[in-house]
Amino acid sequence: MTRSVQDLFDLRGRVVVITGGAGMLGMQHAAAIAEAGGHAVIADLSGELAAHSAAEITRTHGVEALGLQMDVTRKPDVEAMVAAVVEQFGRIDGLINNAALTVTSGSEGAARYFASFEEYPLDLWDKALQVNLTGMFLCCQAVGKMMVSQRAGVIVNIASDIGNISPDHRIYEGAVNPHTGKPFNTPIAYATSKAGVINFTRYLATYWADKGIRVNCISPGGVYAGHDPQFVKNLTQRIPLARMARVDEYRGAILFLLSDASSYMTGANLIVDGGRTAW
């Protein structure tokens, strides 16, 4: 039986957990899920922000969302999150591993986060790996057990264009961080951990293929958020579409990967970067 395109993208009744869900892109993912009829679970380091964000999604889209406090690097937090979701909805159909250590979420401060490779702090390297990779490992492990018991589930890991290529360090020439007014870069810990996400995805895709669980990742390009004009100029000269992404431009890709529209797709890395990695 051939299903309609509308049906393929339908998430009605499905429950999807989003780590780092109260952040800029996390909220976009939640909105896409809710617009398709699904229940978004916004799991975030800030329980207050998660609850507020879930209430906003529920109010705006008319589909129940849930906000939960969770530190992805703490196994008890992750397990408690899974238990709370199952208690509320009875199942977990999808997981978006969106949480990542960034300059805005890292408590160490921008100066240390953007340190040169020669001076990069070991504790920040360790923390980036803990959040970006170990956190993903813990979430996939806990949610995956639920999906194995259901013999169904979809996992979407958020990688980066910089997980596929080395950052072109020339794009930072003459540019400053709008938060600090000082020079910045793509930290070694971010680039390395995002590359790890891609092969982590392939591993789980093959490991769980016979359990009805699909695992893919998306490699987004940079989203414009008030960046330094010189940086934008330097970067967009290296992007075939000649611009950074708008904040809402990953909704379609996320919905595609979560829904039955991608039912014959696992172990894939969907690159959505304006063509930056094409040349």
Q: At 206, which CATH number?
A: 3.40.50.720
- Please identify every residue annotated as catalytic: 190
Q: Under 8 Å CB-to-CB from 163, ≥6 apart: which residues?
A: 191, 194, 195, 196, 197, 198, 219
How many domains does the chain contain in total?
1
Residue 29 CA from chain centroid, whole number? 9
pLDDT at 43: 98
Specify if 233 maps to a domain.
no
- Domain assignment present for residue 234? The answer is no
Chain-centroid distance, C-alpha 174 = 29
pTM of the model: 0.96
* Owning domain of residue 57: 5-167+191-226+247-264
What is the structure's pLDDT at 109?
Answer: 74
Domain membership flag for residue 176: no
Low-confidence ranges of the chain (pLDDT < 50): 105-108
State whether residue 39 is helix, strand or coil: strand
Residue at 173 is within a domain = no
pLDDT of residue 106: 42
pLDDT at 104: 53
Single out the residue of 257, 233, 230 nearest to residue 244, CA to CA.
233
135: in domain = yes
The answer as to whether 205 is a domain residue is: yes
How confident is the model at residue 105, as a pLDDT?
43
Residue 36 falls inside a structural domain: yes
Here the tokens at position 17 are: 């957990």
CA distance 196 to 80: 26
Please provide the DSSP assignment of 231-275 as one string.
Answer: HHHHHHTTSTT-SPBPTTTTHHHHHHHHSGGGTT--S-EEEESTT
CB burial string 35-46: b at 16+ within 10 A, e below: bbebbbbbbbbe
In a domain, 148, yes or no: yes
Give the tens place of pLDDT for each residue, 61-120: 999 999 999 999 999 999 999 999 999 999 999 999 999 998 754 444 777 888 999 999
Cα–Cα dist 237/157, whole Å:
28
